[in-house]
Amino acid sequence: MRLERLFCKRRFFKCFAVFILLFMAWMFISFMMTINDEDFPDDVVYDIFIDETQDDHPHVPLDQEIMEEAARKKSEKRYGSVENVDPPDPIILWWTEFTLEPGKSRSCKDKRCFFTNNRAFKSHKNLRAFMFYGTDFSPNDLPLPRQKHHEWALLHEESPKNNYLVCHEEALNLFNHTSTFRRESDFPITTQHLHSLKWLESDVYTKTISQKNRYQQQDGLAPVMFVQSDCDPPSDRDTFVKLLMKHVKVDSYGSCLHNKHLSHPIEKPLEGMAHKDFYELISRYKFALSMENAVCKDYITEKFWRPLMVGTVPIAFGSPALH
């Protein structure tokens, strides 16, 4: 009798579970049958499709016409239509939103150009050039088909790790003009973080070896400092610093291998790195680990120039051009 009761209970629960599943399936089908196309306007569907697909799967190529139509509608929503805007000057269009400039004419000596990031100008008769910001450049989002009279220009001032595509010759060959950290660039910005020779030769923060020794003895400072919050980058600098710490005392102020705190007002990396108190702190050390997050020819940032300016020896790792 007990076995029969147990068997009946199990069969009852199985039947009940099947009933619940069938009921839920019926409810779902009924709901889907009530949805009309009007509930999802074309622009909403395309916007959602493109935004979510590109964010989640940036490598998935989307239909070019759908992408351009969605981009045009987004552009008109943000800046308005360009039907009543007809700039007489040559138009330079930021295809990647770098300046957030909806439209403005600027002079360069005796020349004038109309700069904008409004993609609605893509087919304008006066369009002459497309500008791309290296970090945001994507082969899945290009102003195609490319016209013969349209020139493409690249500005890439950030780390090579931000976009490996623009480190390859095949990608660079797409552009008529380049402005990057490479000296071979048309408009090189290799020394963009070097303010001036006068700035570099300044002795405002410079300390003598005796003074640096005093800071080590009285304040307990290490001979070497390390300040980074971008941990485990492609250059693998953290591994080197870990090994160095086994043999030499290193004060690490950033979130990477952190063992020492930055005080107010320089505790925030972005706001504090150009503060005079930060320069003063670096000047008290004999050495500073000036290690880039990526190893690439001519990629030299403020990590190298800043210690030199305050009289601290940089232990550099990054551009092979540094000797």
Which structure tokens are listed for 193? 């973080």
Give CA–CA dist 226/259, Å, rounded: 10
pLDDT tens for each residue of 99-118: 878 888 899 788 899 999 99
Q: What region does 236 belong to: left with phi over 0, alpha with psi -120 to 50, or beta?
A: left
Output the CA torsion 102→108→111→114 (10° steps). 0
Q: Please return the burial class of 140, using the count of CB atoms within 10 Å of its CB with bins 0-12, 13-18 and 19+.
A: middle
Which structure tokens are listed for 245? 């710490």
% of the chain residues with pLDDT over 70:
75
pLDDT tens for each residue of 114-150: 999 999 999 999 999 999 999 999 999 999 999 999 9
pLDDT tens for each residue of 175-216: 999 999 999 999 999 999 999 999 999 999 999 999 999 999
Nearest one of 170, 122, 116 to 144, comparing CA atoms = 122
For the domain 197-317, what is the CATH code? 3.40.50.11660
**C-alpha dist (Å) from residue 33 to 30, 102, 247:** 5, 43, 71
pLDDT tens for each residue of 73-96: 665 544 455 666 789 999 999 999
Q: pTM for this structure?
A: 0.71
User: According to the model, what pLDDT value does residue 322 have?
Assistant: 87
Q: Are strands 104-108 and 111-116 parallel, antiparallel or unpaired?
A: antiparallel
Output the CA torsion 251→256→260→264 (10° steps). 120
Give residue limits of the domains in the chain.
42-180, 197-317
User: According to the model, what pLDDT value does residue 242 have?
Assistant: 97
Query: 180-208 as b/e, with b when 16 or more CB fall inside 10 Å?
Result: bbbeebeeebbeeeeeeeeeeeeeebebe
**C-alpha dist (Å) from residue 289 to 103, 157, 158, 225:** 43, 22, 20, 6
